[in-house]
Structures are given as structure tokens and as C-alpha cells.
Amino acid sequence: MYIIAGLGNPGKEYTGTRHNVGFETIDCLAEKYNISLNKLKFNSVYGETTINGEKVMLMKPVTYMNRSGIAIDEIIKFYKIPVENLIVVYDDIDIPVGALRIRPNGSPGTHNGMKSITHHVGSNFPRIRIGIGRNPDMDLADYVLQRFSQADKDIIAPIILRAGEAVIEIIENDVDSAMQKYNIRVTGE
């Protein structure tokens, strides 16, 4: 069994913001596999399906970003899932818009949602980071809660789809295969 967690903040006021690309990836996967995200438990909205013979749960924690680890810890403990079968998709200000980074594990970096998750469950799980860049002239909180410009939306939309494909690649094959096929570097990195 796999848990695919997309990070973001619940509520219409956060829809389409930079911080919610993890939620958007879950929504794309739900649409592709015709999964209803209509269950509310484990401090999450979630739905389930089977992919490549594996039970897969798509989840969006409703704890708000900085407390994402609470929701993920609940679902992992309830289903007794090894943490290696958790895949987390989230935004990353430390890589440029349009970049995609898949890693088998690692530190949370500067991301508070990931800090919460690693505090609760450790760091030995695959993660998919979607680059949102940063604006040094803006307050960080204001920046991540800002909606994308049309130009950035045009760049991010295919990256979100690609992040969803990378999730499936991890389930069907492994993290190394997903890294080889789906990592995207952006000029200037």
C-alpha cells in the first residue's frame, strides 16, 4: 500500500497559490484515475484506488501546511504502512519555477510542512519537489501564498502533470527510475 500526500493549505483562498502545487498534483492524479477525494479522516481529505496491483491512497492533509506531519503520521500508523511507501509532493522555493526534483529521502530543507513530516515520521521516504522559485523582494509567506502569474502558470501546469507521472513511476518501478525519467533542471541552476 502507498500513501501519496500532496501538501498545501485547505480553503478556497489558497487555491492556485504557489504553496498548493502538492494539492494540485493530487487533484490531477485523482482526475486521471477517476478517484473521488471524498473521504475525511486522519485530518485529511483522501480517496483510494489500485495502481499496478498496489492499493494507493491519495491524500491532502487539512491541518494546514505547517502541521502536515500530524495527518501523515495518523494515516501511516492506522494502516501500519512502512514510511518508505509514503510519497510526498510539495513546493520548493529553493529551486526555480519549472524545476522538478525527485529524491529517495533527505532533509526537509527550509520547508515547514516537510519539517513537520520528518519530525513525526522520519525522513526515509521519496519526495517530489516542484520548483516555485523565490522573490527576494517579497516576504516569504506572502510569496508562497501568492497565486502564479499567467506566465508561471503556463510553466507550472505541465510540471504538475509530470510530478503525477513521477508518482506512478515510483509505484510501478522505483525512485531511481522516476529520477532518471522525470527530474527537470532549469537553466541557471
Catalytic residues: 19
Reference 35, options 4, 64, 57; nearest CA is 57
Q: Which residues contact 62 (CB under 8 A, 6 or more apart)?
A: 10, 40, 43, 44, 45, 71
CB 99 within 8 A of CB 59: no
Residue type, 138: M
Radius of gyration from C-alpha coordinates of the chain: 15
DSSP E strands in the chain: the ranges are 2-6, 39-41, 44-51, 54-61, 86-92, 100-103, 127-131
Closest of 49, 58, 68, 69 to residue 26, by C-alpha? 58
For CA atoms 58, 115, 157, 62, give the dihedral sign.
Answer: positive
Cell matching residue 69 = 506531519
109: left (phi over 0), alpha (psi -120 to 50) or beta: left
